[in-house]
Structure 1
Amino acid sequence: MELAEWFLLDALAYLECVLGFLCYVVLRLVGSPYGRYASQRAGFLLPARAAWAVQELPSLALPLLLCAGASAPAERLDRWPNCILLTMFLLHYAQRALIFPFLIRGGKPMPFCVFLLAFLFCTCNGYLQSRYLSQYAVYADDWLTDPRFLTGFVLWLIGMVINIHSDHVLRNLRKPGETGYKIPRGGLFEYITAANYFGEVVEWCGYALASWSIQGWAFAIFTFCILFTRAQQHHQWYHEKFEDYPKFRKIMIPFLF
């Protein structure tokens, strides 16, 4: 039974990579139909705060339920590398499910199809990451001092800080009573259009490096594929809407693209 589930976890990781590349192709063709691009063609619209909270919640709740309801994971979670890596995953989704949605000011309604796909992904990926780390991942006794873990942890922390700070900048673009869109200023927005997405990609690449697993890298690859298409869409939109949009800003990677 354990070998069958281990095979399943590897298969799901490779499938996540494939789906990431497929989503990149599809979203390059049709765009991401939520936020400022929301359309009822992608389903009826849901309130932004509720949709964000509910769709992100499985990646927080499912790992907690799996770890609390099973006895075998204790064999792994009493080891510091497994515990720290799972905590890194949970901290991100605690912020995304329990804090971020309730800081949204206004927010465009979320099409139901987009919400449903995000909910399904968070459910599957929450199971994939938490089950692997709690049940199957084995690390050397000195893994916490390994350069891969140390570098990955620092990247994860830097990425999370960038992501949270960039969301703060976007929330505070408009003063009370103002409407319309403005050009983001400050932080990494001085160099790239999608500083918030850059932070999230750095965060999950750090997590993948620290976990040194196909499961972690599959998540990082999927995240990049989804967010880079969204960043490209934003970049084009800003250039079309604002004649004075800074020409030197890259899309998502400072100084590169």
Structure 2
Amino acid sequence: MTAISGVVLAYFGLSEAWGKHLQYSKFWNAGSPPSDKQLRISSRVGMLLLYTPALVAAAAAFAVPAVVADDRCRLLALALALHFFKRDFEVVFIHQYSGNMILDSAIPISLSYFSGTVCMIYAQYLTQGEPGPRVDLKVAGEVLFLVGITGNFYHHHLLSKLREKGDKTYKIPKGGLFGLVICPHYLFEIIVFIGFCLISQTLFSFFFALGTLWYLMGRSYATRRWYLSKFDNFPKEVKALIPYIF
């Protein structure tokens, strides 16, 4: 599962950069037009489908005594549950939607989050009784997780304020780190997964964080390219993901 998760996420990231998008958000109808045979669902329902199974999996871990009894395992499950609860909260109360989602795109993302959550907790469970890491990075992971989840929420809030109710047009985001990168919410999402990695300190959490990095790098690259194609006044100095670098 460690190898599969890393490779699949990296492949999705390269596919995004090459223009083969998972069809949700502004890319729901990018590239080839969707076939009439493809099932479309509302973006709100689709986004809930992405995150809710992972939230249920993280919450269910607290019913396992061995998870609750281990400090690192319990902390990891709590962080995962908080992350996906926040995402569902944003879906219901924060995000604005302008289109539909293709079910074929929602399912692999949902499975990725769900399997990643389950495997991350299970990998942590398997470390019980083994010697702990020589350098304990749990506190650093907690700090990065809180920074990442806060920054991600803040920039999602800014994105939601771009359009009035009923307005489905896209605008160039402003405020926060949007003056430096077009996808600061992805940057903070990566910080969240690095936080998971440092809390856990298992091989699976490392490769899942690395795969998430690759996927969001490809997604942010495609997003910047989309803005450049849609807006003549898009500031060229604004990078995709990492200020001044990428």
Interval of TM-score (by shorter of Structure 1 and Structure 2): 0.7 to 0.9
TM-score (norm: length of structure 2): 0.87
Following TM superposition, where does structure 1 have runs of at least 4 consecutive aligned residues deviating by more than 6 angstroms?
139-143
Aligned mates of 1:81, 1:141 — CA distance in 2: 13
Q: Is the Cα contact below 8 Å between 2:144 and 2:192 reproduced in 1?
A: yes
Q: 1:63 maps to what in 2?
A: 58
SS at match of 1:57: helix
Q: Does 1:243 align with 2:232?
A: yes
Q: Is the Cα contact below 8 Å between 1:66 and 1:131 reproduced in 2?
A: no
Structure number having the greater helix percentage: 1
- Aligned residues between the structures: 239
C-alpha change, 1:87 and 1:141, in structure 2 (3 Å) is: farther
| 1:205-247 alpha-carbon deviations (Å, 9 max, x no partner) | 1211221111211221221122211111110111122222122
Q: Is the Cα contact below 8 Å between 1:76 and 1:137 reproduced in 2?
A: no
Q: 1:89 maps to what in 2?
A: 80
Q: Is the Cα contact below 8 Å between 2:158 and 2:175 reproduced in 1?
A: yes
C-alpha change, 1:197 and 1:253, in structure 2 (3 Å) is: same
Match of 2:148 among 159, 178, 188: 159
TM-score (norm: length of structure 1): 0.84
| 1:12-47 alpha-carbon deviations (Å, 9 max, x no partner) | 112111212222233333133222221324922101
Aligned mates of 1:126, 1:210 — CA distance in 2: 14
Aligned mates of 2:70, 2:168 — CA distance in 1: 51
Q: Does 1:36 align with 2:26?
A: yes
Q: Does 1:122 align with 2:117?
A: no
Root mean square deviation, CA, Å: 2.4
SS at match of 2:137: helix
Unaligned runs of 5+ in 2: none
Q: Does 1:193 align with 2:182?
A: yes
Q: 1:253 maps to what in 2?
A: 242
Q: Is the Cα contact below 8 Å between 2:73 and 2:121 reproduced in 1?
A: no
| 1:173-211 alpha-carbon deviations (Å, 9 max, x no partner) | 123454411111111111101011111011101211221
Q: Does 1:80 align with 2:71?
A: yes
Deviation at 1:54, TM superposition (A): 2.1
Q: Is the Cα contact below 8 Å between 2:14 and 2:215 reproduced in 1?
A: no
Aligned mates of 1:106, 1:31 — CA distance in 2: 18
Q: Which amino acid aligns with 2:77?
A: L
